[in-house]
Structure 1
Amino acid sequence: MSEAVTALGGASSAGPVAQVEERTIQGMVTLRGTLSELAPAVEAVTGCAMSGTRGIEHAGDAAVGWMSPDELLLLVPYAQTGEIVAALEEKLAGVHHLAVDVSDARASFRLEGPGAREVLARLCPVDLSPAAFGPGDLRRTRLAQVPAAFWIDEAGAFTLVCFRSVARYAFDCLAEAASGEAVGFLA
């Protein structure tokens, strides 16, 4: 069996307003179905409470993000992804659902620094003011021309997930946006 690698080999870029770096491999499971029916299994398997609309909940090394009215993104340790999918299948027997390991189809990045909000605001049609977007919020939107989802932690760093096939484009967009001067509007 081959060893899993990130899409860009750990690429990183430091600009004057923010730094962007590719995150290490991450276990990701797309789970679709009626969210109220999925909730007990999700909590049992991940330890995370269900997130609300456009939210993300964390518990230890797992997280559950709301992606749409019938879709969740589960973040788990990469090495445990297969076990997580199997446990979900067992707990959801008889419940209409779809649980798929999408770990190798996704790339993820970390964006941090005093201008991180501004960098994303340059690329995404989302209100990123602190009053409108804070820890526990998740947005599924477009980053320039590609679909992406992102959230922010308590320290102000963003995690962004996109398709692996557009990882280079997403990274280059983030790095270019971080290379500009600060406007200071979202500070």
Structure 2
Amino acid sequence: MGELIAKSAFGDLLPLSVGAATLSEADVGHLTSIAPFRGQTTATSQALRAAHGMALPAVNRATGKAVARAIWFGKDMALLVGPPPNADLAKTAALTDQSDAWACVTLDGPPAEDILARLVPVDLRAAEFKRGHTVRTQIRHMNGSITRVGSDSFLIMVFRSMAITLVHDIKEAMEATAARR
């Protein structure tokens, strides 16, 4: 049997710098959806805290740090980003490996908010969308997730099949924003 080689969804398109902004592939590790069984949200949150040091996030929030983060991912669902899930979580929640389903990038730099304002129908300015805030939204015409991970830094996730389109759309927005500065 041949050996499989993991390939980036972005090919050789990243990293990309335009003006003061940089778009780079985010190596986030494992991605696991956590969907607590009916009536098990508190128990799942406690198990997540015991195993990974963070509780289930509130709506539109993320908990944890860069090496292990839980991101709100929809009604009664969170996405564990980083480590593989502790087996104890399976006692109170459905766990699904999402690692190959999503393409993840980080957009960094002072113009990041202005760049995303061209693509997203959500107010991502720091006054409204602070570190640890997250949203499931349209990114131009794609479904995605955006989480503020730093003062000028966003983790952006789209379905893997849309990776090249994401780079194209963000690059256009980066160029347009840089042209205005």
Question: Is TM more than 0.5 here?
Answer: yes
Residue range with higher mean Cα deviation, 40-49 or 99-108: 40-49
Aligned pair partner of 1:129 in 108, 114, 125: 125
Q: Distance in 2 between matches of 1:144 and 1:108?
A: 16
- Other-structure match for 1:88: 89
Matches within 5 A, 1:146-165: 146-165=142-161
Contact persistence 1:8–1:167 (CA under 8 A):
yes
Q: Which amino acid aligns with 1:176?
A: E
Q: Distance in 2 between matches of 1:178 and 1:23?
A: 18
- Other-structure match for 1:140: 136
Q: Distance in 2 between matches of 1:181 and 1:163?
A: 25
Q: Distance in 2 between matches of 1:53 and 1:25?
A: 21
- Other-structure match for 1:26: 29
Q: Which amino acid aligns with 1:106?
A: W
- Other-structure match for 2:7: 5
- Other-structure match for 1:58: 64
Q: Which runs of 5+ in 1 are unaligned?
A: none
Contact persistence 2:29–2:81 (CA under 8 A):
yes
Instruction: Please give the secondary structure, in 2, of the residue aligned with 1:179.
Output: helix
Per-residue deviation at 1:24? 2.6
Superposition TM-score, scaled by structure 2 size: 0.86
Per-residue deviation at 1:36? 2.8
Pair 85,144 (structure 1): closer, same or farther in 2 beyond 3 Å:
farther
Q: Distance in 1 between matches of 2:22 and 2:66?
A: 25
Residue range with higher mean Cα deviation, 116-125 or 149-158: 149-158
Per-residue deviation at 1:15? 1.3
Between the two proteins, the alignment pairs up a number of residues equal to 174
Identity, % of aligned positions: 27
Contact persistence 1:108–1:161 (CA under 8 A):
yes
Q: Which runs of 5+ in 2 are unaligned?
A: none
Per-residue deviation at 1:55? 0.4
